Amino acid sequence: MSFERVLRSALVAIAIAGLTAGILAALDGRTDLADLCWTLATVPVVAGLAVSIVRDFLAGRFGVDAIALVSMSAALALGQPLAGAVVALMYSGGNVLEDIAVARAEHDLRSLVDRAPREAHRCVDGRIEEVLVGTVAVGDRLLVRAGEVVPVDGIVSSVTAVVDESALTGEPIPVAKARGAAILSGSLNAGETFEMTVTAVAGDSTYAGIVKLVTTAQTAKAPFVRLADRYALVFLPVTLALALVAWLISGDLLRSLAVLVAATPCPLILAAPVAFIAGVARAARRGILVKGGGPLEALARAHTVLFDKTGTLTVGGARLLSVEVAPGETAEEVLLLGASLEQASHHVIAGAIVQAGTERGLHLKLPEEVREAMGSGLHGVIEGRRVSAGSREMILASSQVAEWATRAIRRASWRSALIVFVAVEGRPIGALLLADELRSDTPRAIRLLREAGVARIVMVTGDRAGAAQAIGAALDLDSVLAERVPTDKVDAVRSEQRLNPTIMVGDGINDAPALAAADVGIALGARGASASSEAADVVILADRLDRVGEAIEIAQRARRIAIESIVAGMALSTLAMLAATLGWLLPVPAAIVQEVIDVAVILNALRALNPGRGRAGGSMTAAAGHELHRSHLELIGNLDRLRSIVDELDDASPERAAVIIAEANKLVQDQVVAHERDDEGHVYPQLATVLRESHGLSAMSRAHREILHLARLLARVVEDLPSEKVDRYLVRDAQRLIEAVETLVRLHTAQEEDIYEAVAAR
């Protein structure tokens, strides 16, 4: 506990003791002793307040504390020590209530610091030794036991680890980390004991960076808090004027004293800091670290938001977009062989392909005799077959480019995608298209910003104009600035700043100058402290872009509550002063009324700790959301096969066309239709209990009906196949139906994921 808090506690104890002793003496008929006790209870508070006012005045601040000093001094001077003692108790008690409120609001921030590990278990020559975290060096092997916090950054070096990263990201679901995977300090071991190899010392680790940011958040002071002092410059002369009027109309100085007592300024002193600290604490609960009340107040005034593209609006790395296949092949086989072979490479593209195969539930094979041609691709043997995966130049160099391959190259060009061809025994069987894609929560993040009142959203990126314009059009952004270097980004920020309050959102080192230049810089720092996190005013610890809109919403609510508390407190104090002016309140009752106002103001300011009533009342469980996402991943594999069937129908013989149209129908009926019926019968009723209104679900149900209608039409086509001649017109009709189902289900699934993310985020 700080010295100031100890002193405040001591002053309130003296005030309570003096007031109580004086009351007992008065009951015993010893009025002189009672007056002395009350005077002794008041003088220390007056002295402490006088020192505080002088210190603030020398620092260039002059607040409403002066009214409390005047009221207590006047009470002693006018021979009303009881009123002075009551004011002293109310004022010092209000300060203690502020400390309690601040401590309550800061709890979520302090918990991050308090759980920082102090010791580590280092493996040395087959034994375990306990060492201080500060002595751990890069390359050391550490043992992390079940239930312990990971002390430093590293990589898993033994069995798969299961860790809870909620303290870092706000996400409640534990994640599995395979051998070789990066693991962040501050994560909680939610599984069995595992070993790790240190990659960063304690001072440079993720958690150390977060602790530094938390310390900044706790010590910063909001400019808006000083606004309360500016209110005081008006409130103080009004108070003195009413006290003068009370004396003039009554000729009684006690009535003027009652006015001064009723004006004791706790509402102004408490409202703003408590509301803003509560807002900062609420943001921390959601994985949003705001470096003090100043940035929080600036967030509330946001008009323009600038976004970086790569890693901010997009995932920031290669992701599998589609699988193109040669006639007679399947997307599953192409991805299985490609991902199995790429396991032997450390290239970032290889990692993306392996991840795509794993996410789709493929059981990857172990490659043998692998040879890697740097920058071109891989050759290896999988279950006795020679498999190659690589660039067009490597795979297609010795063969004529087939029509399907030409089509794949054209589609890759349209989507600004990288293409990796897969061949078996020298024969190309398919291609994998990879590109940086929108984050799944980006559309929702943009929508939340619009709902929060952000009027202008701009993307500023160093990427090519074509790729940037495609992203901008998909998100309906107000402007796209492409091919911008870091200095250009700073210029863009300053240009917007000249017009309106501006926020910059980024994640990379190249974004740091722009983040520092903006009114509020927001860094996506899910992987720990970096140059961008240091330069930013707000750090999103969770890997969620939609937290930006949520941060603005929290800031607006905190600012609104602060203003409400200040205005309401001043209004109630003014009513009490008017009552005292008219003689309806004596000094002691006026002090009690003022204390009731203080408590009401504190309780109102603490509302900023909680979400407003405008949010929906429920949420979907993490387990339910995970199961829905898993079912969608399974469905995507079937959609890939439908897409390959559509392409194969271009050149299929009548006999082959009949076979694959029947296969497509079976997939649609057994997988797609079953999935949509389950959504309509089980998932949507669950969502209806969570969402405030069902209009959105009604629109989604309309998509279900259209999908089922297309499925029925496809089934009719298949029923007629045995008796109908399979001509090009029938093939074209079937092709259109299959493509319509595939396209609509992909879009519908993406919309459902957006809803699930929104519901689970509450």
Q: What is the pLDDT of residues 212-233, one digit of tens each?
A: 655 554 444 344 445 556 666 6
Q: What are phi and psi of 590, to 5 degrees?
A: -65, -40
At residue 361, the 3 state secondary structure works out as: coil
pLDDT at 94: 60
| pLDDT more than 70, % of the chain | 82
Average pLDDT score over residue span 91-95: 69
What's the CA gap between 535 and 45, in Å, rounded? 42
Kind plus residue range of the DSSP H or E element containing 130: strand 127-132
Whether residue 248 is predicted with pLDDT greater than 80 in this model: the reply is yes
Average pLDDT score over residue span 286-309: 86
Whether residue 336 is predicted with pLDDT greater than 90 in this model: the reply is yes
Extended strands (E) in 450-567: 456-460, 479-481, 502-506, 520-524, 538-540
Q: Which of 16-25, 699-708, 740-749 has the lowest mean pLDDT?
A: 699-708
CA neighbor of 352 nearest in space, from 389, 407, 383: 389
pLDDT at 509: 62
- Please provide the DSSP assignment of 144-208 as one string: E-TTPBP-S-EEE-SSPEEEE-HHHH---S-EEE-TT-EE-TT-EE-SS-EEEEE-S-GGGSHHH
Cα-trace Rg, the chain: 34
Q: What are phi and psi of 481, to 5 degrees?
A: -115, 105
- Please provide the DSSP assignment of 416-446 as one string: T-EEEEEEETTEEEEEEEEE--B-TTHHHHH
pLDDT confidence bin for 529, thresholds 50/70/90: very low
Enumerate helices (H) and strands (E) in the chain, giving the number of each: 27, 22
Higher-confidence residue of 588 and 359: namely 359
Whether residue 422 is predicted with pLDDT greater than 90 in this model: the reply is yes
**Amino acid at site 417:** A
| pLDDT more than 90, % of the chain | 16
What's the CA gap between 634 and 630, in Å, rounded? 6
Q: List pLDDT tens digits, range 674-709.
A: 888 887 777 777 776 666 555 556 667 777 878 888
pLDDT at 511: 77
CA distances 106 to 124, 227, 281, 629, Å, are: 40, 22, 6, 35
User: What are 149's strand-pairing partners?
Assistant: 188
Pairing of strands 288-290, 538-540: antiparallel
Structure tokens at 280: 């900062």
Average pLDDT score over residue span 602-614: 77
Whether residue 616 is predicted with pLDDT greater than 50 in this model: the reply is no
pLDDT at 724: 62
pLDDT at 36: 92
Whether residue 275 is predicted with pLDDT greater than 60 in this model: the reply is yes
Whether residue 105 is predicted with pLDDT greater than 50 in this model: the reply is no
Average pLDDT score over residue span 629-639: 78
Residue 400 DSSP code: P
CA neighbor of 349 nearest in space, from 274, 279, 432: 432
Contacts 24+ apart (CB under 8 A), 54-63: 61/226, 61/229, 62/229, 62/232, 62/233, 63/228, 63/229, 63/232, 63/265, 63/268, 63/269
Extended strands (E) in 622-729: none
What's the CA gap between 681 and 723, in Å, rounded? 36
What's the CA gap between 244 and 262, in Å, rounded? 14
Structure tokens at 634: 């399974």
* Catalytic-role residue among 164, 308, 511, 640: 308
pLDDT at 123: 92
What's the CA gap between 388 and 340, in Å, rounded? 11
The pTM for the full model equals: 0.63
The average confidence (pLDDT) of the chain is 80
Higher-confidence residue of 619 and 194: namely 194
Q: Is 308 a catalytic residue?
A: yes
pLDDT confidence bin for 535, thresholds 50/70/90: low
Ramachandran quadrant class, 461 (left: phi over 0; alpha: psi -120 to 50; beta: rest) = beta
Average pLDDT score over residue span 628-637: 76
**Which residue reads 């190659």 in tokens?**
388
> In angstroms, how far is the first alpha carbon of the chain from the final one?
34
CA neighbor of 499 nearest in space, from 556, 456, 535: 456
Q: List pLDDT tens digits, range 438-474.
A: 787 788 788 889 888 899 999 998 777 777 887 887 7
Q: List pLDDT tens digits, range 139-176.
A: 999 999 888 889 999 999 887 788 877 656 545 456 77
Ramachandran quadrant class, 85 (left: phi over 0; alpha: psi -120 to 50; beta: rest) = alpha
Whether residue 306 is predicted with pLDDT greater than 90 in this model: the reply is yes
Whether residue 269 is predicted with pLDDT greater than 70 in this model: the reply is no
Higher-confidence residue of 262 and 672: namely 672
pLDDT confidence bin for 337, thresholds 50/70/90: very high
